[in-house]
Structure 1
Amino acid sequence: MKRCILLLAATLLATPASAYDSENLNPYPQTMNGKRRIVIDLPKIEDEDLARMEISFSKMLENSDCNAKRITGTIKEGTIEGWGYPYWEVNSDGNIAGTLMGCGDRPTKTERVFGAREMIRYNSRIPLVIYVPDGLDAAFRKFTTPGGFQTRS
């Protein structure tokens, strides 16, 4: 009996925290519609219902002036057929839209410019997969809240 318990404990300790094998991403194609796959492994956190991920796309812009800028395009959620796993696809030609203020003699800078943003639920059991066109990067950040809903009457 003790051997069974020790074997079970050793198996559970050797099992990764996530339910997928990050080396085996077979359901997700390497490329989709000419876009490359970016995989983000989310670590397991205590209460995933209190967390969200914001995803976006970006690129570095050199010799940027004082105008506010963003990359044109959208993010669309899809599902891997036959598996039911979600993915997100960036549809953008990489064009930059921005304000047209006169910047005068202000020096130029190198800055990261972002596109559309999408808020999604945090789920460490499956990878966060984003397909982006060449020349763009996937961007993401995690938001958490220390508690549940607050109410007022």
Structure 2
Amino acid sequence: MRNFALAAVAALMVSACATPSVEAQSSDADLMKAFPQAVAGQQRHVLSLPPLDNEDAVKVELLIGQTKTIDCNHQTLGGQLEERTAEGWGYNYYVLPEVRGGASTMMGCPPGSEREAFVTLPQQTLVRYNSRLPIVIYTPENVEVRYRLWRADEVRGLN
């Protein structure tokens, strides 16, 4: 009995020291080969997410915009984020070909209401949380990408 316990502990220690599989050793650089390089005037943003217990209960909101000096009006940028597929790989990525001046509420603002703010595209882009694949976004060089995580609450029934 004692020998069995020692053998079990030794087996656990050996398995803990084993090298990870080839799949686990693949680097982010290898994975990025699936995605095209950024074209002139564009930049590639890569968001790698950490593993979560229940990734199906989380969505990633992409906030794409620019930091600008604005007044008291609500402002948005113009542009359309496109979803594309990496040819031969089947991985999705996102492209914002151009960003334009967008809309503003055009209210009269009091003097001194100017401030710095992050002005975004009007669309809300929610993508699946997936720690195994990066979220890749191509934008013009003067555009920032930020993100926010949304978590699902418990499922409730109607009475």
User: Which residue, 4, 16, 32 being the options, matches 1:9?
Assistant: 16
Q: Which has the larger radius of gyration?
A: 2
Displacement of 1:6 after TM fit? 4.5
Asked whether the equivalents of residues 55 and 140 of structure 1 are also in contact (C-alpha less than 8 Å), the reply is yes
Instruction: Report deviation, 1:150.
Output: 1.7
Q: 2:62, 2:39 → 1: CA distance?
A: 18
Counterpart of 2:56 (choices 18, 36, 49) is 49
The TM-score with structure 2 as length reference comes to: 0.80
**Gaps spanning 5+ residues in structure 1: where?**
none
Aligned partner of 2:138 in structure 1 is: 131
C-alpha RMSD over aligned residues: 2.8
Aligned residue for 1:21? 27
Give matches, 1:104-143, under 5 Å.
Answer: 104-115=110-121, 116-143=123-150
3-state SS in 1 of match to 2:56 = helix
Matched, 1:31 2:31: no
Taking the aligned partners of 1:60 and 1:141, their CA distance within structure 2 comes to 17
Aligned residue for 1:150?
A: 156
* Cα distance in 1 between the residues matched to 2:110 and 2:156: 47
| CA spacing shift, 1:106–1:119, aligned 2, 3 Å | same
Percentage identity across aligned positions? Answer: 27
Report the CA distance between 1:87 and its aligned residue: 0.5
- 2:101 maps to 95
Alpha-carbon distance between aligned partners in 1 of 2:105 and 2:89, rounded to the nearest angstrom: 43
Q: Which runs of 4+ in 1 moved over 2 A?
A: 1-12, 18-21, 32-35, 91-94
* Pair 1:78-2:81 in alignment: no
CA distance in 1, matches of 2:44, 2:74: 29
Amino acid paired to 1:46: D
Distance in 2 (CA, whole Å) between partners of 1:88 and 1:19 is: 26
Give the gaps of 5 or more residues in structure 2. 1-6
C-alpha separation between the residues in 2 aligned to 1:39 and 1:137? 12
